Structure 1
Amino acid sequence: MSVIKQIVRNTLSGWLAVGIRGALALIIVPFLLNHLGKEGFGLIGILGVIVSMAAVADLGLRGALGRELAEQLARNDLKIYSELASTALVLYFCLACVLGFAGWLLAPWVVEVLKVSEAMYEDAVSSIRIYGILSIILSFITPVFSAALSSFHRFDLINSVQLIVGIISSVTLFVVIPVVENPLYGWVGVMLVSELSILFLSIIFFRKFCNGAEIGLSYLNIKRLIPLFHLGGYLYVIQLAQTLTNTANSIVLSFFLGPISVALYQPASKLSAMFNPIVMTLAEQLFPLTTKFHTTENKEKLQETFLWGTKYTLLLGGFVSVNIFIFSEPLARLWLYDSLGDDYLVVVQVMKIFAIVDLMTYAAGTQWPVLLGMKKLRYLSILLVVTAILNILVSIFFVGFTAVGVAGVLYGTIISKFIRIILLTLHVLELLKVRFFVFFRFSILGPLSCLFFSALCAWILINNYSCDTWIDLMSMVAATTTVWLFCFWFIGLNFNERSHIVAAIKKIRGKSGSKPQNPV
């Protein structure tokens, strides 16, 4: 299968996986709120934060592994590939055990710092010690096999694993939580089983589809970790900054306002986490290609990858952000009013800000895979650290010392991300020798035009028609989608792109319509 066909296949499988999980999330969030309560639901969010924070201690090595495996595959050196993967697995397992032990010891202190109520104290400590520790270990082991699959460009298999396990675990939650004595422990049990299942399936797919690659103790070679540490140094700083940016919000909210504020923050956060992978599916699977183009010194292909990736990511991202921003009030009301009452309005505020933050993320396009493929991470690491600190300080100010409330935790994210996207875009353009005018005309102007007309349509609908049912909301989204598709075809795409798409569709229809000839 060609790389282009594999990318399309990966993208479609990613959309399907995230779409189904997202649809399930729309049902699960109010379900968990009803059974766990606001504080219990907030505690679930805090558990996720703890696991994410533990990932910082991997020294950036997990992020470096995928890139280094892709390089060895491009060089067709499967012996070094196997040694690298095997040695990394042993190292990550040792790190995870150390972190798990630390988590066991620090669990009571963490619960006190995050101001969990006395009624939830014992459950919170037990959840951190059981779920937190085991989840940390699994989160260090599974990425080795995921990195191997991604280096072979089998993102579709990774998506399939997440889809299958996501559906089964979601259905299991609906069955288990209502019948167990402690719903929080029921959630912990289901999540641990699902994470074990992901590891098990990832190992099976690795053995079947990563031809020539092996993982075993016989391949241990400490020397293979040297390139990981070289690249991992910058990746560690980058990962630390990203983790602080992504997890600090929940910590700041819990510290100043308690776990209930996290429960009001989580629905918008989960909605963002649901759509972000759909939009970023293309960009996230490009680092094996950018690594290959850099290794073979094909700068023209690197430039094309950056320009095309940014354009298509922003086209789709603009559509998603417009719908979430403008339709946030009816969506939150229909989705969460029965569980949160008038507090759903807080969720609306957070959803609107998340839509802006995510739009800036989409505008960054393929900057990350290009920089990772080129091993040009020094500037990015410095910029991320500075803006992460700015983000935390601004968030603390608005949440702790003003009356803005939960939404204020994202003000720092908006400011820091805006600064970062401007400076980083200019840096990447300089590295690739691409003029800003060419970049803006090819990758930005069309998507912004589509965004404007889609937003105009959505704004007219929401201000002139009532939206009291899911059918009303879906009708408005459908109308906005129609406008976006029209703009996408005639504004977002140029003549050559439309011609290629038409030719591809005709080719597919021709193959499906052809009949085998009688050999007689």
Structure 2
Amino acid sequence: MPVLRTNILANYAGQVWMALMGIVFIPVYIKLLGMEAFGLVGLMLSIQSLSMLFDLGMGGALNRELARRVHDSSATHTLGDLVRTFEWLVWPIALMIVVAVWLASGPLANHWLHPEDLSREVTAHAITIMGLAVALQWPSSFYANGLSGLERQPALNLINAGFATLRGAGVLAVLYWVSPTISAFMWWFAAVGACQTLVSAAALWRLLPTGAKSRAVFRSAELRAAGRFAGGLVAIMSLSVMLTQLDRIVISATLPLVELGYFSLAMSVAAGMGRMIQPMFNALYPRYSRLVSLGQQDLLTKLYHLSNQCLAVVVAAVAAILMVFGQDVIYLWTGDAATAAMLATPLSLLVAGTALNGLMNLPYALQLAHGWTRLTVSSNLVALLLGIPFCIWAVEHHGITGAASLWLVINLAFVAISIPLMHRRLLRGDLFSWYVRDLCPPMIAAATVALAAGWLLPSLPRNLHGILLLAIASSTTLLCAAMAAPQVRELVRQQLGRWVGLLP
């Protein structure tokens, strides 16, 4: 448990910092580049997500296998071969991404996007560099999965946080002193992405057990062994990417490019909340996998409910504050009252959907730990088939607000339907506990406190006083949510008892 606790804390520290680096400079980017060019940044994020389709399940398979083998002395010598085998696929795929985006740059600029201020030539050139930037950073997620499987989250987060800082803050120097253009922006992201991938690769190879690093070779048997599980991950990833990018694809095809910029701005805030979810998954998926492989069902059940309550506390608190104070947050961040008012409703919908999606993460980790992918594949496929016509209709009639509603509806259905189906097979009899004990108490407490704070503070001034009031409201909401969760409350009580015992 101490290692798990350290990994979770390291993940949260890293994700909080990366979230700050990802959003704090956005108003400056918009000021220097313009909202239309920032729409291309949103397109880059979509291409980055779409590029995960080419992962072919390798990252998730590597994570699971390293977690299962690293503590098995009879299997540690195979770890180097496992990594080397997947590497022979990773790098050619990265090259393929560059070529694919380059070939698509002209059609995207001339026939898909609707730029008004940027020329078609500038747009196409930016998309070409965008493809290089995505491809150079793409392999880093593979190596990050490896570090996560080894449960080396402190090292992983140090790397990610360092390069997030270099990427987010460093590009300002390029924009101010070299060239305030979208092309310069993309070139910087390409350079930082290449460095991040190389450093991540070196870290993974360095942290592998000594016996695994000597004479690592390609072994087709590793691909065959991982084939079925990786195939399920490919299907899940493909459908998930299409679901998460469906709204932006429809917006980019039907609305002006500037609307994609506004939607990307709202998504940046919601994605920042999503970073509060990922640390738990990254730390617990390898631990779930280990407990499943060892057959320790009682420990797995106990950890599952404790971790879900911890996640529910964080998700409920952050979501409640962003939904109640969303307009104030955007105004404090951008200083643009009109933009804040326009994005208040879309942001609330996106945050609610992201919160529900976050609550699905640990049940999903449990499914992957058991090697079960069929449920998620089926759920995503049904959601995509129903979501495409809904999204087209919603965007045509309600613009970006309609697009945001798709994310909420899909995840509401997942929580209501997929979780009961999962608990018919895994941890049977624990469904009621997941809904009533793990989720409801922190969610009700967070919603109550946040609404009360919103009533007491109808608007926040854009100054240090406003930031302080928001921080107090957020801290109070988080504390009340934590105290409402039974196992979290007991964990806090035990920790306080240990600290008090050390005092004179």
**Partner Cα distance (1:117, 1:259) in 2:** 6
Aligned equivalent of 2:346 = 350
The root-mean-square deviation of aligned C-alpha atoms, in Å, is 2.3
Per mean C-alpha deviation after superposition, the further-off stretch among 21-30 and 165-174 is 21-30
Q: Which letter does structure 2 place at the counterpart of 1:223?
A: A
Per mean C-alpha deviation after superposition, the further-off stretch among 121-130 and 109-118 is 109-118
1:258-277 deviation per Cα after TM superposition (whole angstroms, max 9, x unaligned): 22111101122111222212
Q: Which letter does structure 2 place at the counterpart of 1:165?
A: F
Q: Which letter does structure 1 place at the counterpart of 2:163?
A: V
Aligned equivalent of 2:195 = 197
Aligned equivalent of 1:301 = 299
How far residue 299 of structure 1 moved from its aligned partner, in angstroms, is: 1.8
Q: Which secondary structure state, in structure 2, belongs to the residue aligned with residue 391 of structure 1?
A: helix
Q: Which letter does structure 1 place at the counterpart of 2:29?
A: L
Q: Which letter does structure 2 place at the counterpart of 1:136?
A: A
Aligned equivalent of 1:110 = 108
Q: Which letter does structure 2 place at the counterpart of 1:415?
A: V
Q: Which letter does structure 2 place at the counterpart of 1:261?
A: E
Per mean C-alpha deviation after superposition, the further-off stretch among 192-201 and 466-475 is 466-475
Aligned equivalent of 1:61 = 58
Match of 1:331 among 329, 347, 352: 329
**Partner Cα distance (2:479, 2:132) in 1:** 50
Is 1:456 aligned with 2:439?
A: no
Per mean C-alpha deviation after superposition, the further-off stretch among 257-266 and 89-98 is 89-98
**Partner Cα distance (2:122, 2:211) in 1:** 43
Q: Which letter does structure 2 place at the counterpart of 1:375?
A: G
Per mean C-alpha deviation after superposition, the further-off stretch among 389-398 and 33-42 is 389-398
Alignment of 1:56-455 (within 5 A): 56-76=53-73, 77-117=75-115, 119-139=118-138, 141-212=139-210, 214=212, 218-338=216-336, 342-400=338-396, 402=397, 404-430=398-424, 431-455=426-450
Is 1:473 aligned with 2:466?
A: yes
Aligned equivalent of 1:518 = none
1:341-389 deviation per Cα after TM superposition (whole angstroms, max 9, x unaligned): 6233222222111121122123325111100100111111111111123
1:311-356 deviation per Cα after TM superposition (whole angstroms, max 9, x unaligned): 1111111100011111111222232244xx6233222222111121
**Partner Cα distance (1:355, 1:177) in 2:** 31
Is the CA contact (8 Å cut-off) linking 1:429 and 1:435 kept in structure 2?
yes
Is the CA contact (8 Å cut-off) linking 2:350 and 2:405 kept in structure 1?
no
Identity %: 16
Aligned equivalent of 1:516 = none
How far residue 436 of structure 1 moved from its aligned partner, in angstroms, is: 2.9
**Partner Cα distance (1:423, 1:485) in 2:** 28
How many residue pairs are counted as aligned between the two chains? 500
Label 1:418 to 1:185 Cα distance change in 2 as closer, same or farther (>3 A).
same
Q: Which letter does structure 2 place at the counterpart of 1:413?
A: W
Q: What is the TM-score normalised by the length of structure 1?
A: 0.90
**Partner Cα distance (2:48, 2:482) in 1:** 42
**Partner Cα distance (1:171, 1:137) in 2:** 19
How far residue 239 of structure 1 moved from its aligned partner, in angstroms, is: 0.2
Label 1:248 to 1:214 Cα distance change in 2 as closer, same or farther (>3 A).
farther
Aligned equivalent of 1:34 = 31
Q: Which secondary structure state, in structure 1, belongs to the residue aligned with residue 119 of structure 2?
A: helix
Is the CA contact (8 Å cut-off) linking 1:310 and 1:365 kept in structure 2?
no
Is 1:499 aligned with 2:493?
A: yes
Label 1:436 to 1:21 Cα distance change in 2 as closer, same or farther (>3 A).
closer
Q: Which letter does structure 2 place at the counterpart of 1:397?
A: W
1:450-487 deviation per Cα after TM superposition (whole angstroms, max 9, x unaligned): 22332232222233xx4222334323323323533552
1:175-198 deviation per Cα after TM superposition (whole angstroms, max 9, x unaligned): 110233452122112211221221
Consecutive unaligned residues of structure 1, counting only runs of 5 or more, are: 514-520
1:402-451 deviation per Cα after TM superposition (whole angstroms, max 9, x unaligned): 1x121110222211111112222112322211333333343123212322
Q: Which letter does structure 2 place at the counterpart of 1:35?
A: L
1:472-514 deviation per Cα after TM superposition (whole angstroms, max 9, x unaligned): 432332332353355245422456434322234346x56xx9x
Consecutive unaligned residues of structure 2, counting only runs of 5 or more, are: none
Q: Which letter does structure 2 place at the counterpart of 1:439?
A: W
**Partner Cα distance (1:440, 1:53) in 2:** 32
Is the CA contact (8 Å cut-off) linking 1:85 and 1:215 kept in structure 2?
no
**Partner Cα distance (2:92, 2:122) in 1:** 28
1:201-235 deviation per Cα after TM superposition (whole angstroms, max 9, x unaligned): 21332243322365687411111111222111111
Label 1:211 to 1:477 Cα distance change in 2 as closer, same or farther (>3 A).
same
Aligned equivalent of 1:483 = 476
Label 1:437 to 1:145 Cα distance change in 2 as closer, same or farther (>3 A).
closer
How far residue 159 of structure 1 moved from its aligned partner, in angstroms, is: 1.0
Label 1:490 to 1:57 Cα distance change in 2 as closer, same or farther (>3 A).
closer
Is the CA contact (8 Å cut-off) linking 1:314 and 1:365 kept in structure 2?
no
1:139-169 deviation per Cα after TM superposition (whole angstroms, max 9, x unaligned): 0x22332222111101121111111122223
Is the CA contact (8 Å cut-off) linking 2:288 and 2:365 kept in structure 1?
yes
Is the CA contact (8 Å cut-off) linking 1:319 and 1:454 kept in structure 2?
no
Label 1:86 to 1:109 Cα distance change in 2 as closer, same or farther (>3 A).
same
Q: Which letter does structure 1 place at the counterpart of 2:466?
A: L
**Partner Cα distance (2:26, 2:307) in 1:** 32
Q: Which letter does structure 2 place at the counterpart of 1:380?
A: T
Is the CA contact (8 Å cut-off) linking 2:167 and 2:188 kept in structure 1?
yes
Label 1:69 to 1:482 Cα distance change in 2 as closer, same or farther (>3 A).
closer
Per mean C-alpha deviation after superposition, the further-off stretch among 313-322 and 189-198 is 189-198
Q: What is the TM-score normalised by the length of structure 2?
A: 0.92
Label 1:506 to 1:145 Cα distance change in 2 as closer, same or farther (>3 A).
farther
**Partner Cα distance (1:420, 1:95) in 2:** 32
Per mean C-alpha deviation after superposition, the further-off stretch among 49-58 and 86-95 is 49-58
Per mean C-alpha deviation after superposition, the further-off stretch among 476-485 and 242-251 is 476-485
Label 1:301 to 1:415 Cα distance change in 2 as closer, same or farther (>3 A).
same
**Partner Cα distance (1:438, 1:17) in 2:** 31
**Partner Cα distance (1:213, 1:151) in 2:** 17
How far residue 398 of structure 1 moved from its aligned partner, in angstroms, is: 0.9
Label 1:298 to 1:327 Cα distance change in 2 as closer, same or farther (>3 A).
same
Aligned equivalent of 1:48 = 45
Q: Which letter does structure 2 place at the counterpart of 1:98?
A: M
Is the CA contact (8 Å cut-off) linking 2:313 and 2:482 kept in structure 1?
no
Per mean C-alpha deviation after superposition, the further-off stretch among 183-192 and 386-395 is 386-395
Is the CA contact (8 Å cut-off) linking 1:450 and 1:492 kept in structure 2?
no
Is the CA contact (8 Å cut-off) linking 1:60 and 1:235 kept in structure 2?
yes
Is the CA contact (8 Å cut-off) linking 2:80 and 2:216 kept in structure 1?
no
**Partner Cα distance (1:106, 1:490) in 2:** 52
Q: Which letter does structure 1 place at the counterpart of 2:387?
A: N
Label 1:311 to 1:217 Cα distance change in 2 as closer, same or farther (>3 A).
same
Q: Which secondary structure state, in structure 2, belongs to the residue aligned with residue 433 of structure 1?
A: coil
